[in-house]
Amino acid sequence: MIGRLKQNKLVRVLSLNSISVGINFVLGFASAKIISVFLGASGMALIGSFRNFIAMVKGLCTMGISSAVITLIIENKENPKALSAIYSTFFWLLAIASVVLSGIGLFFCNALSQFLFYTIDYVNPLRLFLLLLPLVVLTIFWLAIYNGFSLFRKIIYIQTISSILVFAVSGIGIWKFGIDGGLVSLAIGEVLIVGVTSVYLVKDIRQFDWKLQFGIDGTYLNNIRKFAIMAIVSAVVGQGTLLLIRNILIADSGLSQAGIWDAANRFSGFLMTFINSGLTLYYMPKLASSQSEQEFVAEIRTYYKILVPLSLVLIVSLYALRNLVIHLVFSAEFSPVADLIKWQLAGDFLRILYLAFGFRLLVKQQVWRYCSIEIGFNVIYLLLSYELVSRYEAEAAVMAYFFANVVALLIMVWHFPVTIKSVFQKEVV
């Protein structure tokens, strides 16, 4: 049994990835401690708003191109001419999209700052990020190419080195300049990722048969239409919901309660980073290349045999150690997180149960199913948060997160009844 596990590709990817995630755990804990000590709950909320905005803009710019690039590279690895057309099409498309969105964002910078931070005092970090956006987006493109060629080790090295550099810059920025330094360091951190990726790219570019042409191939534009719809829905609805929930908390209960909620998200985020990166590195390429229902069932079985039990152990461990972890990671101001975290972790586990099916919808471009679940989850999340916040304050948002995941899991079971039945029937046999 142990020998088979060692030979399993998912286990090897997760083992290598666990080193990166372990480093990110330590850095994430240290970063949360720095924010909680130097900025407090209100600073945690403002940092969270900027993180959500960055994720939304990057999602809008890339338009699901990462998923499309991974899928197309897997299908055309042995065709240099097709690869060249793929590279050129997405390179220029991303360059144009990022420049246009950057310009629009810069024009509305004051309004964006008012929405995100309730003041225009922090407009400069926004401007810096938007000016650097084209470089940031092209880096996402290069990482998608690495993923398409299954160069997991390189991706993990890039992510690990980048995380260390970003932490150093963020820590110094917050220590020296407070919230201004923290917000600016988020923008600078994106540039550091660009730099680290570029170092690897210079050495590896020949391996990709890279030939940049001037022009966009309409054939591949048609291929990304569905990916673009799903990515835009996910970016706008997903990150937009988090921004709106935070603003609801701020308006009803103040910045501190919003910061408590952000701290609960960061607490569980350490776990979800491990799960999501494992899915992106391993399952997205595997699901993209699976041609039959039998292959998909086999991958899902592996997921439920390895990743789900491992996640459950991690969740139970985090919950059992919650008071110790919160004491180590946050300041005394964040002690209410201990009462919130049960809802957050329970919601995370439900999310893990259906996440692999969500990736299946994504890579197979099942737009209606993907968007219905994404929109349904976020509408329930937002409405329940709004209804419960006056009574439960920050706990309202994590309760809403749990119940939204219950509904999303039921919807996914409804979409995949035959597959789920096959997985567990064969397990019994």
Task: Provide the residue ranges of all domains of the chain, joining segments of one domain with +.
Answer: 20-428
Are 184 and 122 a contacting pair, CB within 8 Å?
no
Element at 382 (helix H, strand E): helix 367-392
| Residue that wins the pLDDT comparison between 156 and 183 | 183
Rounded mean pLDDT, 95-99: 89
Rounded mean pLDDT, 53-68: 82
Q: Is the pLDDT of residue 259 over 80?
A: yes
Tell which residue, 340, 271, 333, 262, has the closest CA to residue 49. Answer: 262
pLDDT of residue 13: 54
Tell which residue, 80, 81, 100, has the closest CA to residue 92. Answer: 100
Q: Is the pLDDT of residue 78 over 50?
A: yes
pLDDT digit string, tens, across residues 132-173: 999 888 888 888 888 777 777 888 888 889 889 999 999 999
Residue with tokens 């937009």: 240
Alpha-carbon span 48 to 361, nearest angstrom = 28
If you average pLDDT over each of 127-131, 265-269, 292-296, which comes out highest? 127-131
Round the average pLDDT of the chain to a whole number and report it.
Answer: 84
Angle, vertex CA 355, rays to CA 235 and CA 10, nearest 5: 115
Q: Is the pLDDT of residue 1 over 50?
A: no
pLDDT digit string, tens, across residues 3-12: 444 445 555 5
Alpha-carbon span 246 to 267, nearest angstrom = 17
Are 363 and 284 a contacting pair, CB within 8 Å?
yes
CA dihedral 102, 107, 108, 110 (to 10 degrees): 110
Alpha-carbon span 163 to 270, nearest angstrom = 13
Alpha-carbon span 76 to 71, nearest angstrom = 9
Rounded mean pLDDT, 32-48: 93
Q: Is the pLDDT of residue 324 over 50?
A: yes
The structure's pTM equals: 0.84
The three-class DSSP label of residue 199 is helix
